[in-house]
Structure 1
Amino acid sequence: MMTHPLDNIFWHSLSDAQSCFAAGEGDARRYAKGFSPILGFANALQPDFDAINAYCEPGELFYCAGWIGTIPSGWTLEVESTMYRMLWDGVMPPEDATFQARRLNPDNVKDTQDAVSLAQLTNPGPFGMRTIALGEYLGCFDKDDRLIAMAGERSYAPPYREVSGVCTHPDFQGKGLAKRLMHRLIRRQLLADEIPFLHVMYSNSAAHELYLRMGFRDYCQTAVRVIRRIE
């Protein structure tokens, strides 16, 4: 039975357009080591862990969406929650020529380290040393060349492109930096005939309300788990 790509977005991304960033076989994939620790399964409701076990080391944490079944042998549940998957339904954001933002270079050690440090400080979701290679990541910097805000692109199943890694250093929140970064990314995506979408935790009501005001709408609400390989 055919399903909409957004109903199982991580599988559609990892098994097709982003297969170059994936590891796994059969009906299971993961982003390769160093990228965002996310699992994707052809059947999200009944994931085939036997097909992915060999690609996951003991101690590794992974995010898994859309699944609420029994935890399989060799794994343990760390977090169980719910998130919104939101789809762009707004107008083209206006061009913001005066906004100072810079593309983060995945081949630049400083850019990579700065992005990971900001993600660790603010916890925008699963993030790894190589995550900024998954798409375009934009950052704002202070006068000392410190990364203070960023937003980028993660999963991609044409034409759906995820806006992700949205975060701002606590010392610079409330200035609208993340929103302006998001607008620049969304504008680029729309001009490329892509459709933006994003994820936000159900508990993060402030961010959810902001995204609704920006022009996103709720596509669905889905389970999300963080699980750990133990053997």
Structure 2
Amino acid sequence: MTAVHLLDNIFWHALTGPQAHWAVGSGGARRYAPGFSPIVGFANPQRPDFDALTPHCGPDEHFYCAGWSGPAPAGWVVEAESTMHKMVWAGEAPVQDEAPDVRPMGPEHLDQVLALADLTRPGPFGPRTIELGEYFGLFDGERLMAMAGERSFAETLREVSGVCTHPDFQGRGLARRLMLKLIARQLARGETPFLHVMSDNTGALGLYQRMGFRTHRESVVRVISRA
């Protein structure tokens, strides 16, 4: 299996591979531990092992899962359904540092990180998500304007995630600068950047294509919870 094909079921490969220490689950199901991004991975997305997943999920939790489009089993509810593009980097390495003024994000920035994620909804996010990789922010004084970071990875694939900009600072290219910072660092480590973007987010989809990403595949994505 070449690395790019891991994108077809990337969260399973991440949660049973290099990120297994951040996973809980058994059998054919894994999830990120509570506090991280609420994402589920199944060994076989066409036949998801909900029996293995259920004991590891609370009744008030909501999870994202990709690649599964069958009926919800007893005890589970599909709250939302859409499609997203899995995109992989196909461009050249950035030739200069587009964001030399970034700050690495740490526990001291958590309140601002969570507030920005709650405001802009860049995807499933939790208070421990910034532990999953490098996270960088751009600041106006002490105010967080934009951030981007890393989430899942398996073999040489590394995800760019959590990309968001405060509405007061949009239109300045801040997210692009942050992403190019991460992409350059990933390429220097011999990694291949990839990302997920909702299919109806045509603005972001076009930006990522112009930057150098190409669509690997379009996939169903659902938000699920226990009934």
Map Cα deviations across residues 80-109 of structure 1 (whole Å, 9 max, x no partner): 00000000000001222763101101xx2x
8 A contact 2:32–2:39 mirrored in 1: yes
Unaligned runs of 5+ residues in structure 1 are: none
Letter in 1 for 2:6: P
The partner residue of 1:136 within 134, 137, 142 is 134
The residue that corresponds to 2:210 in the other structure is 213
Q: CA deviation at 1:113?
A: 1.8
Q: CA deviation at 1:59?
A: 1.5
The residue that corresponds to 2:179 in the other structure is 182
Between the two proteins, the alignment pairs up a number of residues equal to 226
The residue that corresponds to 1:64 in the other structure is 65
Provide the rounded CA distance (Å) in 1 between the counterparts of 2:223 and 2:41. Answer: 13
Q: CA deviation at 1:2?
A: 9.2
Task: State the TM-score, normalizing by the size of structure 1.
Answer: 0.95
Letter in 2 for 1:220: R
Q: Which moved more, 1:57-66 or 1:91-100?
A: 91-100
Q: The residue matched to 1:40 in structure 2 has which SS?
A: strand
Q: Does 1:173 align with 2:170?
A: yes
Letter in 2 for 1:175: R
Q: The residue matched to 1:179 in structure 2 has which SS?
A: helix
Q: The residue matched to 1:68 in structure 2 has which SS?
A: coil
Q: Percent sequence identity over matched residues?
A: 58
The residue that corresponds to 1:150 in the other structure is 147
Task: State the TM-score, normalizing by the size of structure 2.
Answer: 0.97
How large is the Cα RMSD of the aligned pairs?
A: 1.4
The residue that corresponds to 1:113 in the other structure is 111
Q: The residue matched to 1:53 in structure 2 has which SS?
A: helix
Q: The residue matched to 1:139 in structure 2 has which SS?
A: strand
Provide the rounded CA distance (Å) in 1 between the counterparts of 2:128 and 2:2. Answer: 32
8 A contact 2:98–2:180 mirrored in 1: no
Provide the rounded CA distance (Å) in 2 between the counterparts of 1:207 and 1:156. Answer: 22
Letter in 2 for 1:165: G
Provide the rounded CA distance (Å) in 2 between the counterparts of 1:174 and 1:116. Answer: 22
The residue that corresponds to 1:229 in the other structure is 226
8 A contact 2:98–2:177 mirrored in 1: no
Q: CA deviation at 1:56?
A: 0.1
Provide the rounded CA distance (Å) in 1 between the counterparts of 2:89 and 2:42. Answer: 25
Provide the rounded CA distance (Å) in 1 between the counterparts of 2:100 and 2:174. Answer: 9
Distance 1:98 1:213, change over 3 A: closer
Unaligned runs of 5+ residues in structure 2 are: none
